[in-house]
Every structure is written in C-alpha cells, then in structure tokens.
C-alpha cells in the first residue's frame, strides 16, 4: 500500500507547521512531534459526514473520489495498527486501534513488548445536535472513535483542555548500551548545552549521506517477531544550524520525505550518538488547514455536514470549531532496543601503503528531524523535530 494523497496532504501540513515553529525568532520555538496518520484519520472521518461543496473540498485536498474511497483508505490504515498492542496509558476515555488485535492471555513479557501506538479518535459534538445513525455507525465500525457531547459554546476552553485527537503514544528505546556521559548539543541560537546521549560503536545500520543531510534508520525489534514493522528515520543536516534550510527544501518538495525513496544500504558506522527524547506537542490545526486550502469545514456560514447530524429546518450550519492534535514521544535506552543487522561482508586487503577509508558516523549533536514509519506501507506515523533535548513542553 503506497502513501495516498491524503497522507501526502497531512505530511505537507506537518512539515509546514514544523518549519513555522523553527522560524520563530522570539525564543518560543518548541520541539515538535505530530502524527500525519492521525490527522489523516480525523479528516477522513469528518469528511464522511460532510456534503455539498464541503465534501467536494475535502475530496479535492485528500485526493479521494468519494466517501467510500475515504472510508476504504481509513480501514486500511486501521488494519496497519490492528495488531499493535494497546498502550496502558491511553486512559479510560480513549479508544485504541489495537484493541481488536490484542489478547491478554498471549501477550509477550513486558521486556519484549513492541513499541506502543495508541490511536484515539474522538469527536465532540455540541449537546444541541444529534448524530445520524449512519454516521455514528461509520465512526464506531471503521474509525473506532468515541462520540461525546459537550457545551462547546460555553465550555469551549475546558473542552480544549480535555480533548486530544491523538492520545499519548510511546516509543521506548532505540539503543541499549550507554557508553557516554553527557556531551555537547548545539542549539539553533548558537548556545551549547550538555545532554545525555545514547551511544553505540562499530555497528551496522541502514544509512546514507545526501547533499545537505544524512539519514539513519533504526528498526524496532518486535519482541520475538523477526518482522520489523516500524522504523525510525533520523534526518540530520550537515550544518549545525542547517535544520531550517533542510526543512525548507523538504517542504518545497515533500516527495523527498517519502521513506520509499530513501536508498539506505547497510553501513558500518564508527559511532552512533542520539540524545534521549521525551516531549509532547499539541496544536489546534484549523489555521494550518485553512492555509492548505481546507476552509469550508471551519466556516460558520458555509459548512455542510448534513451527513453527520440532524438539522432542524432553517437551522444555521454546523462547523468544526476546534481541530485539536496532540502527540507524545519518548525515546530512551529502556525497553525496545535497536535491531542490529547481521551483515556478512568481505574485507579486501590492499597494499599496505593504502589505508582503509574512515568509517562514517552519525552524531546527532544538533537539531534534526525524525520520522516513525510503518515499513510495509511506508506510511509516516509520526514526524517531528528535536530543537532542544532538555525541553519538556506540554507534558
């Protein structure tokens, strides 16, 4: 399954938001982590309840021909995550896409648990409206989404605090061995801070050097399963302050962000240094969606959701007043470890006057981008940037 236009739209939106965050010159820039896949799911779900010109606009930006096409796409996305064990910290009000594929009697021991991805879709509807049974069935059967009623007029701020379109997700552990104490990390403003790094030496990983940046891929070890379904791609600019230039290049042509286009051979690296990651990011995506051409769903006068709710005669149109998204990432040395590839190579011994070329290394000691990818479909589950390893925004 290739990444569809809807996923491409959501990835472009995410990279634009990342770039906007990097460009802030008032000292408020934050680490960013977003889930294009989660955003895609929510857009597909609300689009399936729209009609008229609103539906036409949804279909145009998402690259789908009709509602059936949208729901089929979403069904395939849910199928990708159906076998991933649910997160224990998703909370009582969340719905995990993996509930249908987990069995408490057969789960692996905790030390062999794969990375956890909990997909929690929630649609909050003003208490003055009632969903159509056909739309409610779609939200429950395909999107596994909860529908909640609230006073969105008088309690909007409280709802905004309580609702997240993506409930806390975890990725635990990439590199097992801790060989180095704190070391320098160079911030975009020129400052240098000391942070703990996860390190390993003389290891084989999927790696490639490009014109302006280098890419390292670390596959997750899925317990006793040899099928590595998820991987993390780290995109590190060559220049310590080169993240903005790299993101501008990628944002102008997001086809360069498609993991299937990265050709990453197995390379022996002299060392791999990665800072620990732990942060959250939340945002209301309405302005970003408008900037990307999706305007009608958020228009109080022109939206059409006649396939979602009952509307009394001469009632004002209903519209999306908040489109909240939150993601959390944690990467450390505990839990799942990086899968070290078994590689049989031939060492050619040349004349002694020639020296072997130095081994490449991957030292992420300055801001970089990352993507978490489902390897079979090459869909981007998460993407983000690390600007400051010590920052703990929005936790």
- Parent domain of 161: 120-179
Q: Does one domain contain both 24 and 154?
A: no
Q: Which of 254, 234, 188 is nearest to 16 (CA)?
A: 254
Q: Does one domain contain both 168 and 232?
A: no
Q: Does one domain contain both 160 and 186?
A: no
CATH code, domain carrying 147: 3.30.497.10
Q: Does one domain contain both 156 and 197?
A: no
Q: What local confidence, expressed as pLDDT, does residue 348 receive?
A: 35
pTM across the whole model: 0.78
Q: Which tokens go with 165?
A: 């379109």
Q: Does one domain contain both 174 and 200?
A: no
Q: Does one domain contain both 188 and 233?
A: yes
Could you give the number of structural domains in the chain? 2
- Cβ neighbors of 152 (< 8 A, separation 6 or more) are 124, 125, 126, 159, 321, 322
Q: Does one domain contain both 218 and 174?
A: no
Residue 43 counted as domain residue: no
Residue 135 counted as domain residue: yes
Q: Does one domain contain both 139 and 169?
A: yes
Q: Does one domain contain both 213 and 337?
A: yes
Give all strands of the β-sheet with 266-275 in edge-to-edge order. 32-34, 379-386, 368-374, 230-237, 213-219, 197-209, 266-275, 362-363
Residue 252 counted as domain residue: yes
pLDDT along the chain (395 residues), means of 10: 70 90 82 88 91 95 92 83 47 28 36 53 78 89 79 65 40 40 86 88 88 85 52 92 92 77 86 84 89 92 89 83 80 40 29 62 94 84 90 56
Residue 238 counted as domain residue: yes
Q: Please answer whether residues 102 and 155 qualify as being in contact, where contact means their C-beta atoms are separated by less than 8 angstroms.
A: no
Q: What does the alpha-carbon distance between residue 255 and residue 340 come to, in Å, rounded to a whole number?
A: 28
């Amino acid at each position: 399954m290739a990444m569809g236009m809807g996923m491409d739209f959501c990835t472009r939106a995410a990279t634009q938001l990342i770039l906007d965050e990097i460009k802030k010159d008032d000292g408020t820039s934050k680490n960013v982590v977003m889930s294009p896949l989660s955003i895609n799911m929510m857009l597909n779900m609300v689009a399936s309840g729209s009609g008229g010109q609103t539906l036409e606009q949804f279909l145009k930006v998402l690259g789908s021909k009709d509602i059936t096409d949208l729901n089929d796409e979403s069904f395939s996305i849910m199928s990708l995550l159906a076998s991933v064990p649910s997160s224990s910290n998703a909370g009582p009000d969340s719905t995990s896409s993996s509930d249908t594929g987990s069995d408490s009697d057969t789960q692996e021991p905790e030390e062999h648990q794969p990375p956890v991805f909990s997909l929690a879709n929630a649609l909050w509807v003003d208490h003055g409206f009632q969903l159509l049974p056909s739309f409610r069935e779609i939200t429950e059967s395909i999107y596994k989404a909860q529908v909640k009623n609230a006073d969105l007029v008088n309690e909007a701020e409280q709802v905004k605090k309580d609702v997240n379109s993506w409930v806390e997700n975890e990725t635990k552990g990439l590199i097992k061995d801790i060989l180095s104490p704190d070391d320098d990390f160079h911030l975009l403003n020129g400052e240098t801070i000391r942070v703990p790094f996860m390190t390993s030496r003389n290891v084989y990983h999927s790696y490639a050097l490009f014109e302006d940046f280098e890419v390292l891929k670390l596959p997750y070890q899925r317990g006793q399963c040899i099928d590595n379904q998820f991987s993390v791609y780290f995109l590190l600019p060559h220049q310590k302050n080169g993240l903005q230039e790299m993101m501008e290049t990628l944002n102008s042509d997001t086809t360069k962000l498609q993991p299937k286009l990265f050709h990453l051979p197995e390379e022996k690296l002299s060392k791999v240094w990665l800072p620990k990651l732990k942060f959250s990011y939340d945002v209301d995506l309405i302005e970003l969606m408008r900037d990307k051409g999706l305007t009608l769903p958020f228009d109080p006068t022109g939206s059409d959701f006649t396939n979602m709710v009952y509307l009394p005669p001469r009632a004002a149109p209903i519209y999306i007043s908040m489109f909240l998204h939150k993601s959390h990432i944690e990467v450390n040395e505990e839990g799942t470890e990086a899968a070290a590839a078994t590689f049989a190579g031939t060492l050619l011994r040349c004349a002694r006057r020639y020296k072997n070329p130095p081994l490449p290394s991957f030292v992420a000691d300055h801001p970089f981008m990352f993507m978490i990818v489902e390897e079979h479909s090459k869909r981007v589950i998460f993407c983000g940037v690390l600007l400051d390893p010590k920052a703990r925004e929005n936790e």
